[in-house]
Structure 1
């Protein structure tokens, strides 16, 4: 939860930060450049998955969890202290990119260690529910970021937000770090399947399970993109493209994210009850089908349309995501699970998750069609549906 607060606030603050670090005459170009930095952090996730996966498989899941938060907190606070382009020119953007890359390595290891820890500790008939708690924590962190940004924007006028207000959520990362250190210090239970591997897990994954890694990436295309389009980029879409007042856009996004957080464990439980693959396929199919009509409805600028669409997206994304951790854990043997899942998961999130806001902004700017993101989601849904239908599992389904 704590790492994801730090990582997500960058996405929510992109419209405010873009002219401060990329003072381009075209605000759309500046926004695309800022989302490019957002994506850069995600492109470092595979490296984080390899590094922390190695730690988790050879030393232990909890050790990987403890080490990840410090690697996130320091660059987050430093972002809040960065001078802007007006102060140091292009060096500001270069420093922002560097700090974002360090954040990406941290996030690439934290969630995977949580997933494997929770699923391995769960009874066989509760793996879907237990695995969904990892996503519950991650999305709760993003929800916290959305709420903090919403509160800051509600109490600070736009000029003050541009002058100093954008720094506040980043500097609060220090408080988050201290909380995380305390929580990690009391986390003393280790998964019985974590640690103790003598050979290099990465070598075994790449030589014996590369096909599974590539197949799993295809399964996760919609999983990776949907959340970042519909819950991280959506406030920018509503406020800059529709347009809707920023405060309304953030409020709708926060409420929709609350709904998603509450539904994720329900979706995990449904996966245990009716089959993980069944619920995932149903969610993928429905989300691919309803994306276009909901985006067309959003174009009306109606607050009701934004709210109802957000709630529908939350329901379907919970089905696409909630059962996924348990299914991921069944794709690789336990002794290389953290490394295998980490490479596949972070490659999918790096290539199709973190880049999604940039891709959607670019699609709209090139086509002039504000429903273009729906076509992108539908295409990813089609690929994910076919790939998931043919995925072979190491464990039971």
Structure 2
């Protein structure tokens, strides 16, 4: 298989680049909102779909549904990546968001356990599985799409901006959660208001489908078609027979990304700030929103830094900063912590979480263009299916042993990521690639 590719010669971002980046980032924001809004309402959904006198079991059941979404990612991701490598990136980029919008809307109108009994949690799990399959194609597809549209010297900025848009979906979810908490009483939320974010999410998804009609196929895939180098058989076979090192690099980097997002951004407000340290729920959510905003800013910042000084130096600075800021934040938590201190420390931590942008930057470069979508999607989604699904349960167990569970876990994966950044394939990219 040839590993050469032709790439547009521009070194600066054109109006077309900016349009593509803007529409892709906005679509990513809306789709990832659909996927993560679930976690902001776990404490509400638990009693409604998994009634139990044991609060811990209720939380485990609800987090299990959250994990089901992650476990479904590999199947959806691998299938969509196959067609992304054989018939085009754009088609799968549009399909993934359509498949996300439908189950999100359905969750918003699902009957509860009180209304239809055991069928309620079953339907919730099925919808979550569909969401997981859709996000499995969206994330790698979006990164490949932008990587193959962005000029070489702005690669980090392009992927960083897209990733910022995707993490913006978490921020959007957090803001809507705050709005729901401030607008409705607990009784009103339990009765009907919890449905609003999911119904909105379905609407957001269909808007994204419309927006992506205006995107063009990537120059790299067009070149592969013109040169008759598009994969004709099963790209996934080539991935696992010839590119195991790239898969390993991607899997380890994905472990780091999933840990940072799941533990610091998604679990901390409820499972750590609320359950462990008894910090006010509204304050926790507001601090989380600011931290997520800083995460989105950090993704662009660290992407630009990688363009300037390279991935290895960026990894050293960013991940060491993540270790230090996580210790400062989690070791300083207590019920009487001041709001300004909590928010400041959480914001600094959120900014360093932005270093996770190195995962797509390194991983898209590690695979040749003919099988790039399949390689990235299979390695990323298999790793996220394992680590993203296990991390919530593992973190809750670890919290029962030490209040600094998050610090130990984050430090471990950060050191792994730094080690990976020294591997030549990680910081140079595929050895025969001249453009990506």
TM-score relative to the length of structure 2: 0.86
Q: Does 1:309 align with 2:309?
A: no
**Is contact 2:34–2:201 with CA below 8 Å preserved after alignment?**
yes
**How far 1:157 sits from its partner (Å)?**
0.7
Q: Does 1:269 align with 2:304?
A: yes
The equivalent position to 2:368 in structure 1, one of 310, 319, 333, is 333
Alignment of 1:95-244 (within 5 A): 95-193=123-221, 196-236=230-270, 237-244=272-279
| In structure 2, distance between residues paired with 1:374 and 1:36 | 23
**How far 1:104 sits from its partner (Å)?**
0.4
| In structure 1, distance between residues paired with 2:387 and 2:323 | 16
2:219 match: secondary structure: coil
Alignment match, 1:46: 74
Aligned length: 394
Deviates more, 1:187-196 or 1:37-46: 187-196
Alignment match, 1:372: 405
Alignment match, 2:9: none
| In structure 2, distance between residues paired with 1:26 and 1:373 | 24
**How far 1:301 sits from its partner (Å)?**
4.0
1:56 match: secondary structure: helix
**Is contact 2:328–2:345 with CA below 8 Å preserved after alignment?**
no
RMSD after superposition: 1.9
**How far 1:300 sits from its partner (Å)?**
4.6
**Is contact 1:297–1:305 with CA below 8 Å preserved after alignment?**
no
The equivalent position to 1:257 in structure 2, one of 292, 300, 321, is 292
- For residues 42-63 of structure 1, give each alpha carbon's deviation from its aligned partner in whole angstroms, at most 9, with x where no partner exists: 1111112211111211111111
Alignment of 1:65-76 (within 5 A): 65-76=93-104
**Is contact 2:80–2:92 with CA below 8 Å preserved after alignment?**
yes
| In structure 2, distance between residues paired with 1:12 and 1:127 | 33
| Larger-Rg structure | 2
Alignment match, 1:59: 87
| In structure 1, distance between residues paired with 2:391 and 2:262 | 6
| In structure 2, distance between residues paired with 1:348 and 1:312 | 27
1:241 match: secondary structure: coil
**Is contact 1:117–1:191 with CA below 8 Å preserved after alignment?**
no
- For residues 276-316 of structure 1, give each alpha carbon's deviation from its aligned partner in whole angstroms, at most 9, with x where no partner exists: 23212322233234423421212354123321221111121
| In structure 1, distance between residues paired with 2:167 and 2:325 | 22
- For residues 317-353 of structure 1, give each alpha carbon's deviation from its aligned partner in whole angstroms, at most 9, with x where no partner exists: 11x2233322211101011011101112112222223
**How far 1:354 sits from its partner (Å)?**
4.1
**How far 1:167 sits from its partner (Å)?**
0.9
Alignment match, 1:385: 418
CA pair 334-240 structure 1, distance change in 2 beyond 3 A: same
Alignment match, 1:356: 391
**Is contact 2:140–2:377 with CA below 8 Å preserved after alignment?**
yes
| In structure 1, distance between residues paired with 2:404 and 2:341 | 14
**Is contact 1:219–1:388 with CA below 8 Å preserved after alignment?**
no
| In structure 2, distance between residues paired with 1:169 and 1:294 | 29
| In structure 1, distance between residues paired with 2:340 and 2:392 | 23
- For residues 98-157 of structure 1, give each alpha carbon's deviation from its aligned partner in whole angstroms, at most 9, with x where no partner exists: 111110010001121111111122222111111112211211122111111110111011
**How far 1:252 sits from its partner (Å)?**
1.1
2:421 match: secondary structure: helix
Structure 1 spans left out of the alignment, 5+ residues: none
1:121 match: secondary structure: coil
**Is contact 1:228–1:357 with CA below 8 Å preserved after alignment?**
yes
Alignment match, 2:358: 323
The equivalent position to 2:52 in structure 1, one of 8, 24, 30, is 24
Deviates more, 1:194-203 or 1:58-67: 194-203
**How far 1:203 sits from its partner (Å)?**
1.1
**Is contact 2:148–2:218 with CA below 8 Å preserved after alignment?**
no
**Is contact 1:221–1:383 with CA below 8 Å preserved after alignment?**
no
Structure 2 spans left out of the alignment, 5+ residues: 1-28
